Structure 1
Amino acid sequence: MLPKQLFFLTNEHLCAYQWQRGRLSEPRHFLADRAGMDAFTQYLRENPDRPAYLIADMVEEDFQRQLLPHVSGRARRGLIARRMNLAYRDTPFRHALIQGREAAGRRDDQVLFSAITNPGAVQPWVNVIGQAGVPLGALYSAPFLAMMLVRSLAMAQDHLLLITIDSAGLRQTYFQGRHLKFSRLTTMTADERLADVVAEETDRMQQFLTSTRLTGRGDLLQTVVLAPRDEIPALERACEDGPEIAFHFVDMETAAARLRMREVPRLADTLLLTLVGRNPPASHYPTGAAGHLFRLWQTRIGLYAGSAGLVAAALAATVYNVWATVDANNTAARLTAEAPQFEARYRAVMATLPPAAARTVNMRAAVTVDETLRMQGPQPLALTAIVSDSLDRAPAITLLSLEWQVPSGAPPAAGGAANPLQQAGQPTDAPAPIYSSALGIPSPPPQTIRIEGEIDAPENDSRAVLDAMNAFALDLARNRRLAVDIVTPPVDVRSNARLSGKAGLAAEPGKPRFALRVTWKP
């Protein structure tokens, strides 16, 4: 847990504590006057970067219960804000808590409004904290913190009146189940006996709860008095059970044991401060400029935590890389030491074998060449399949012949012999060499195919003949890797061609023929 500054504020004074390692320091007391404010300012300068949490236990704290129409979202927030402005116009310290819904009727929301009606008792202390640059995390109401105390001590009842004695006086807080409904602070003078004040104020509180219909006829008010152990006997004699009230007395030793506190306090202030120090809840009242400083402090702490995480991750990565490097070096050294042994064993095994027809390197190269020829060597199947698909879409064309060719290779270099075999003294009538590029090394070679076919078209309809051949050629050319050239058209349409024939005579027998050359680059 991070260190904190905890302040308990009453109408007369402020008690300051330091929370560190799960324990409260000795309190420092500051009166609510100019001298006390100046001393408090000097005190804040001792720990300007330590966040602060302020608990206000004021006489002028008002509670109102209202029923609001059940709405949600922005409409609910606007309705609550208007009701708070109407009920507590003159104070910025106001709070609204939704406590469920009515069981019948429109099922309106039950809302508890509270406010410190005398802001002049709190605002100067908040201003001093902000001017000192101390981040104020929250401004709490002591009655609302009493809900945490009820849950921690497992004292929830249908009708519970919790009576505590703190530095501000006698605090009476009424709960229905787990919900706070009303609270009242009574100041005590030095000559008043605690037992007499508790008995008198409890009787008044019971009458008030009955008059406001918080308790009904026949409801039993469970009254729990939290007091020092030496006061319990006098309280038991002064407070008697009645038909609608039952008293229970819990000493501070028992409360401290349930909260796992190392020291036994005498006042309830310490119990509330301990709960806030361990797990600070959300603020009940606005904190103003000092709250902005707290949000900046949270951002700074978040950045520090993120930076620490990055540094830890970097250190972990560095340690891992160093370990991996050392391990890799050890492995490399071991393999280097083992390599001569394996080389000697290899040579010994090879010495016992008969001479091989070819070296291992040559055999590996031959296998590589064979695999390359199998994968990239020229084959007519792929190109003839493309031509076959186009012929299926051209029913008017009849295939007569196919001539598949692959270029023999690159031409000889400029200035060199036409045949490289002549440079080696070979006879001039030796066959021309086949270059590796024609075999698919290093890449598949281009291939050509000559297509000869005839066209089945109406007699003397030259336009239909040309359209059929052109459609077939365009269908082949749709493949981006094919280049189609017309070698022999079915009809000679050149401008210098000679036309001959006689009108009325039948055309010569036979169908028009054509020839195409298709070049494919795989």
Structure 2
Amino acid sequence: MLRNHLLYLTSEQLCVYHWRLGKLTTGPCFASDDDGIDAFMDYIDAAPVGPCWLLTDLIEEDYHRLTLPHVSGKAGRQMLQRRLMQQYRETPYRHVSIQGRAPEGRRDDIALLSGLTNPSIVQPWIAALEALKAPLAGLYTTTLMSDVLRRKLGLHHEHLLLVTEQSGGLRQSYFRDGQLKFSRLTLAIDRDGVPVNVAAETGKTLQFLTSVHLIERGDVLHTAIVTPSDQIERLSALCRNGPETAYHFIPMETAAAKVGLPEAPRLADTLLLKLLGAELPRSHYTLGQARRYYQLWWARVAMYGASAAILGCTLMWAAVSLWRAGEADNAATRMRAETARYDSQYQAVMSDMPPAVARTANMKAAVAIERMLAEKGPAPLPMVRMLSNALERAPLIRLNRLDWRVDLPGAAPAPSAMQGPADSGPATPVPSRLLGLPSAPPQALHLEAEISGQQDDYRAALDAMRQFAQALAAQPHMAVEIESQPLDTRPTVKLSGKAGVTAGVTAEDKLKFALNLIWNP
């Protein structure tokens, strides 16, 4: 199984720690020479390669404070990179952080630049990881990680000097209002094997901070020393509070409990590694191409995760489909059983009934024919309705006679529906088309009417008759034929009558006309 590696690098050696499920375990250490690098490569190559985080604790680390014009966006980022390149031109491992803005004047940005001034210590180890194609996630420094330790310990003094003993030596990190301003690493044991006087080193640091105006005269520097419990008594005798210095001792057991370590270590290395594994912040120093194998590893993990999600969804969909198929089979079985039961009940009921006069299919066909006759069978009502609409717009027209019939080419003329019944005789078969099967037949309507009004106004009578005929012809599928007019104007007919006589008009003298209407629905 893949293991995540936390690598702790000092000037003398590199130690490997394993990180899994929030637990930190100690691994081997390798010297900073060719043999040590080869042994490190063999060790990494033998184990499944997981992500690696490299934490450095080096003396060759520089910090520079400056103010820059407040520029946002891409231009601001480019300005920071240019300034960082000018400050640390000889190393690719550089870092910049904005720590707020100046309270007065132009309110410029306050920037802290840092860099590893001796990259030759780090590069061989990074090259070894690249040769193994190990995913290097980031390059970190214990100085910037000490800010996380400060927050975990709850130290919020205005002027704070955090002192920790690490594998690389005695680390002193100065914080002002919670912002890292300066850090220095000194030897914890001098050349004679005597522990370094922490109070003396604190005094040197205070003198430097005063010279660069980070601390004013009269300000108190609170020095927090993280050390094992058995060293507090010895350090208390050396570190005396003064007018500008106040010492606070934090037992290593207390720090380990706040960080989450089950056992208190002798050095602060594991404290910072535990915080690194738990926080996994963004890389302090840029790695460039050295980080490409981590990006490839992350892309591969993302693809595996997506494949696992797709596989899980597929299995879930298959399980749901199988469950639905089973439910459908059960429902089909129940429906077949219910159908068989209803069939048996139907057969039992039908066995006790007398034989039916007609089959069900015949009855269904008869009902279908009856509906077709009702919808398409000929009837005078539609033509009478059209005639009624035309009469409403012709008040001078009076009907005298209507004769409706249905005629088909080649068929015997059907008696009029508005006349009396035909003489009884031998029954002849009626064509299906006359009944409206399969479509409605053409229908004819003969009407005789007269025109009321002045009897000698033949022009008005002719106009009324023509308007009435045109109104009928405007009906859909309607053809109108004028059989006779109120005044016969044909050249072969003798024109006769009396003009100017209105009184004593008989029925024979009224203006009459006849129309033949043919409607083909």
TM-score normalised according to structure 1 size: 0.70
Cα shift at 1:281: 1.0
The SS at the match of 1:26 is: strand
Q: Report matched runs for 1:90-109 at 5 Å.
A: 90-109=90-109
Contact 2:252 2:266 in 1 (8 A): yes
> Deviation string for 1:134-185 (max 9, x for gaps)?
1110000111111111222222332221100000000001112332111110
In structure 2, the residue matched to 1:110 is 110
Q: State the distance in 1 between where 2:210 and 2:366 align.
A: 107
Contact 2:377 2:437 in 1 (8 A): no
Which amino acid counterpart does residue 328 of structure 1 have in structure 2?
A
In structure 2, the residue matched to 1:514 is none
Which amino acid counterpart does residue 318 of structure 2 have in structure 1?
T
Q: Give the 3 Å change call, closer, same or farther, for CA 230–293 of structure 1 in structure 2.
A: same
Q: Give the 3 Å change call, closer, same or farther, for CA 225–333 of structure 1 in structure 2.
A: same
Which amino acid counterpart does residue 123 of structure 1 have in structure 2?
Q
Q: Give the 3 Å change call, closer, same or farther, for CA 210–233 of structure 1 in structure 2.
A: same
> Deviation string for 1:94-145 (max 9, x for gaps)?
1011111122221111111000111111112211111121111000011111
Contact 1:130 1:289 in 2 (8 A): no
> Deviation string for 1:287-337 (max 9, x for gaps)?
233311110111011101111111111111111112222222222223323
In structure 2, the residue matched to 1:272 is 272
Which amino acid counterpart does residue 234 of structure 1 have in structure 2?
R
Q: Report matched runs for 1:223-302 at 5 Å.
A: 223-302=223-302
Indicate the structure (1 or 2) with the bigger Cα radius of gyration.
Answer: 2
Contact 2:143 2:183 in 1 (8 A): yes
In structure 2, the residue matched to 1:320 is 320
Q: State the distance in 1 between where 2:376 and 2:160 align.
A: 92
Q: Give the 3 Å change call, closer, same or farther, for CA 76–198 of structure 1 in structure 2.
A: same
Q: State the distance in 2 between where 1:30 and 1:298 align.
A: 28
Contact 2:372 2:437 in 1 (8 A): no
Q: Give the 3 Å change call, closer, same or farther, for CA 133–375 of structure 1 in structure 2.
A: farther
Cα shift at 1:24: 2.6
The SS at the match of 2:47 is: coil
Contact 1:62 1:114 in 2 (8 A): yes
In structure 1, the residue matched to 2:161 is 161
Which amino acid counterpart does residue 224 of structure 1 have in structure 2?
A
| 2:149 corresponds to 1:140 | no
Q: Give the 3 Å change call, closer, same or farther, for CA 377–165 of structure 1 in structure 2.
A: farther
Which amino acid counterpart does residue 93 of structure 2 have in structure 1?
F
In structure 1, the residue matched to 2:424 is none
Cα shift at 1:359: 8.1
In structure 2, the residue matched to 1:427 is 428
Cα shift at 1:52: 0.8
Which amino acid counterpart does residue 103 of structure 1 have in structure 2?
P
Q: Report matched runs for 1:42-441 at 5 Å.
A: 42-47=42-47, 49-189=49-189, 191-194=192-195, 196-345=196-345, 427=428, 430=431, 432-433=433-434, 438=439
Cα shift at 1:351: 8.3
Contact 1:134 1:290 in 2 (8 A): no
The SS at the match of 1:50 is: strand
Contact 2:69 2:109 in 1 (8 A): yes
Range 143-152 or range 38-47, more displaced: 38-47
Contact 1:408 1:435 in 2 (8 A): no
Q: State the distance in 1 between where 2:286 and 2:118 align.
A: 15
> Deviation string for 1:231-289 (max 9, x for gaps)?
11111111111222221111111111112212221111111111222231111112233
> Deviation string for 1:11-57 (max 9, x for gaps)?
12111122223323333221212222222221221235211110111
The SS at the match of 1:231 is: helix
Q: State the distance in 1 between where 2:318 and 2:162 align.
A: 58
Q: Give the 3 Å change call, closer, same or farther, for CA 360–33 of structure 1 in structure 2.
A: same
Q: Give the 3 Å change call, closer, same or farther, for CA 282–431 of structure 1 in structure 2.
A: closer
Contact 2:99 2:111 in 1 (8 A): yes
Contact 1:133 1:290 in 2 (8 A): no
In structure 2, the residue matched to 1:28 is 28
> Deviation string for 1:62-104 (max 9, x for gaps)?
1111111111111111110111111111111110111111222
Range 291-300 or range 222-231, more displaced: 222-231
Identity, % of aligned pairs?
Answer: 42
Q: Give the 3 Å change call, closer, same or farther, for CA 418–118 of structure 1 in structure 2.
A: farther
In structure 1, the residue matched to 2:417 is none
Q: State the distance in 1 between where 2:365 and 2:90 align.
A: 97
Contact 2:373 2:435 in 1 (8 A): no
In structure 2, the residue matched to 1:471 is none
Which amino acid counterpart does residue 135 of structure 2 have in structure 1?
P
Q: Give the 3 Å change call, closer, same or farther, for CA 518–290 of structure 1 in structure 2.
A: farther
Unaligned runs of 5+ in 2: 390-405, 413-426, 442-473, 482-517
Query: How many residues are paired up?
Result: 438
Q: State the distance in 2 between where 1:80 and 1:289 align.
A: 21
Range 185-194 or range 426-435, more displaced: 426-435
Cα shift at 1:487: 11
Which amino acid counterpart does residue 58 of structure 2 have in structure 1?
M
Q: State the distance in 1 between where 2:364 and 2:68 align.
A: 90
Which amino acid counterpart does residue 164 of structure 1 have in structure 2?
T
Cα shift at 1:348: 6.4
Contact 1:48 1:133 in 2 (8 A): no
Q: Give the 3 Å change call, closer, same or farther, for CA 332–207 of structure 1 in structure 2.
A: same
Q: Give the 3 Å change call, closer, same or farther, for CA 240–434 of structure 1 in structure 2.
A: farther
Cα shift at 1:366: 8.5
Q: Give the 3 Å change call, closer, same or farther, for CA 346–198 of structure 1 in structure 2.
A: farther
In structure 2, the residue matched to 1:472 is none
The SS at the match of 1:45 is: helix
Q: Give the 3 Å change call, closer, same or farther, for CA 112–368 of structure 1 in structure 2.
A: farther
Contact 2:256 2:264 in 1 (8 A): yes
The SS at the match of 1:181 is: strand
The SS at the match of 1:140 is: strand
Cα shift at 1:338: 3.1
Which amino acid counterpart does residue 210 of structure 1 have in structure 2?
T
Q: State the distance in 1 between where 2:242 and 2:268 align.
A: 26
The SS at the match of 2:198 is: helix
Contact 2:153 2:255 in 1 (8 A): yes
User: C-alpha root-mean-square deviation of aligned residues, in Å?
Assistant: 4.8
Q: Give the 3 Å change call, closer, same or farther, for CA 327–119 of structure 1 in structure 2.
A: same
Q: Give the 3 Å change call, closer, same or farther, for CA 170–348 of structure 1 in structure 2.
A: same
The SS at the match of 1:225 is: strand
Range 34-43 or range 139-148, more displaced: 34-43
In structure 1, the residue matched to 2:514 is none
The SS at the match of 1:281 is: coil
The SS at the match of 1:51 is: strand
> Deviation string for 1:443-464 (max 9, x for gaps)?
xx9xxxxxxxxxxxxxxxxxxx
Unaligned runs of 5+ in 1: 389-406, 412-416, 420-425, 440-444, 446-475, 477-482, 489-516
Contact 1:69 1:108 in 2 (8 A): yes
Contact 1:3 1:21 in 2 (8 A): no
Which amino acid counterpart does residue 285 of structure 2 have in structure 1?
Y
Range 227-236 or range 258-267, more displaced: 258-267
Contact 2:165 2:188 in 1 (8 A): no
Q: State the distance in 1 between where 2:369 and 2:275 align.
A: 82
Contact 2:161 2:173 in 1 (8 A): yes
Q: State the distance in 2 between where 1:212 and 1:485 align.
A: 113
